[in-house]
Structure 1
Amino acid sequence: MARGSSAYTRAVGGIAFTTGLGAAYFVASVIHAGTVAWAMAFSATYYGPEAARWADSGWLAVLGLVVFFAVKGLVSALLAAVGLRLVSRSLRP
């Protein structure tokens, strides 16, 4: 976070980071279980059988990163929108 960021911004970032980690841990493994056979077959077909050995863990890492950053961005945007909505309601005469 930036040095001059507010407590709200740091809280939103922390909540988004924690939610992203949790989602990456639970959701990425579920997606991985359903798609790892496809990823290994794809890598064996296009890159050779030696690449298929690394496809399992590589595919899990890619899924984990995608899920983490997608959820982190979504939660950050959602909490920022909720915060702006609350502030705009409180400033209304």
Structure 2
Amino acid sequence: MKLPIFCPSCENSLNVSQMKCNHCETEVNGNYELPLYLKLSREEQDFILQFFLSSGSIKEMAKQQELSYPTMRNRMDDLIDKIKNLN
């Protein structure tokens, strides 16, 4: 199940309010902001993972996905802009 990151009612960002240990049943309550990575879509998270696994090579990513380098570079630039705006 994918972790919801936006309110289904007003579409604002959600925060984490409770976490629970499945082993000992300990519960932690509070109001915690989600980490930046979890605020990204699944596709954006996968893109970052693929970038990491290709040793940071956009050229290699483009080759693996059979896309042009400029297309992959544009995706990277769009993701960089989004991350800058989330901070």
What TM-score range do you get, normalising by the shorter chain? Answer: under 0.3
Structure with the larger strand share: 2
Higher relative contact order (CA closer than 8 Å, sequence separation 6+): 1
TM-score (norm 1): 0.25
Bigger Rg, structure 1 or 2: 1
